Amino acid sequence: MNSAGLLFLLARALASPLDPKFASTGGVDIFTSCFPGRGMMNNDGFAARDQLLDAIPSDGVQLAEMGCFYKRVNTAVLSICNWTNSTRVVNVEEAELALMALVDQCRSGSFAGQHRANGVAYAAYGAMAGQYIRSASSANSQKYSRRDRLDGCNDIGWNGVEHFNCDKPKDRTTGADGNCPGHSDPKNRCTAYCEVKRTGSLGPEQLVPGEAGHISPKGQAQNIAHGTEISITHGFSVGLGGSYQEAVSAGVSYQFSVTHTKSTTVEYQGVQDPPHRARWVYWARFVDTCGDLSERELHKPESPTYPVSLPPVCRGEVKTTHNFCAMSPMLDNQGQPILLFAQQYVDDGSEVLPMEEQPVSYQDACVNAGSSHVKDPDGDGQDECLTDL
């Protein structure tokens, strides 16, 4: 199994699609929408694209219903997500053409954006906040202390910095043989995961569902209604089943989740008399865990004396996949996904306006122009950008 993003969980809002930059005829919806890079460097984006394409098998990658296949290089994330309600096989030629269209259409600073065709979304985005943050590819110029990287992960943050000393559950530390203990226990389905590093980041920009996500006319205030529900949900990909989900969940010290619904607790007030057409967007905070996944065959012996059944056993060689990664929503103390909301301005052609023309909350997204930390940029009292959640 290839680790190049055999995994899940980039955000999927149950909302209306992004406003198209172009559309096809013939009943097949094809459109591209571009958004700010948020720390994405093109060289990292192209590297992630190449690794993603290289990881697609010759007979295509099978994506389960609402499943994702992704690859992250520093703070650039490239993903292929199945937005249909059935299994979908994506071949490398199809993916290459779609990502080429994304690069061709989104050329302003970076090719961050989303291209959707035939029920599949191809996305590129920067996994960082604030317009003034640079990618982790420039980490040598950033002043991270050793404590920032070895802190037990109590301060994982949202800036794409990798942490290597996270608390681990008992018996979930990779052994000297390179394998993760627990692979010989049938109770674990003969599969065990040991985390090596963890990274916190913001997910891709998404439209708020309902009226708030639609573009309102210039000068017309628009709010998010109290109780608006947003689902952060994406399934598994490339044949990933329950045993892998359970293994990752048992191998990390945080609450690993694949499906949660967030209901907004307050009404979000839009800009009064906005100078441009506007709509509401949000980002979810994510956790990316990478480590060693060890597995053996789970065998259920046939009993010679019916109806007496024999217990399952683990058999065969141990297979360990190193740098096995999984991405999931970061949850708060109440077990809900952490979402950050902002109003976004667009021009008459529905194109996103330059960052300097956007509202302050959209520009800040955790970090403002002075590079200082903004804990609650959307003003709802929930401190979405607090680093030690």
CB 264 within 8 A of CB 224: yes
112 to each of 34, 83, 99, 379, how far by Cα in Å? 6, 19, 11, 27
Counting other chains too, the contacts that 379-386 makes at CB distance below 8 Å and 24 or more residues apart are 380/264, 380/265, 380/266, 380/268, 380/341, 381/266, 382/265, 382/332, 382/338, 384/285, 384/338, 384/339, 384/340, 385/129, 385/158, 385/340
DSSP for residue 67: B
Diameter over CA atoms, the chain: 79
pTM: 0.76
**Element at 242 (helix H, strand E):** helix 242-251
Burial of 93 (0-12, 13-18, 19+ CB in 10 A): exposed
The per-residue pLDDT for range 28-84, each reduced to its tens digit, is 478 888 877 777 888 899 999 999 999 898 999 888 777 788 888 887 889 898 888
pLDDT, residue 149, reads 37
φ/ψ region of 46 (left if φ > 0, alpha if ψ in -120 to 50, else beta) reads alpha
Between CA 274 and CA 277 the distance in angstroms is 7
- Residue 114 has φ and ψ, to the nearest 5°, of -140, 135
Least confident of 21-25, 27-31, 127-131, 169-173: 21-25
The per-residue pLDDT for range 161-178, each reduced to its tens digit, is 788 888 889 899 999 999
The per-residue pLDDT for range 332-384, each reduced to its tens digit, is 777 778 888 888 999 998 888 888 888 877 876 665 544 455 667 666 666 66
pLDDT, residue 385, reads 66
- At 200 the three-state DSSP class reads strand
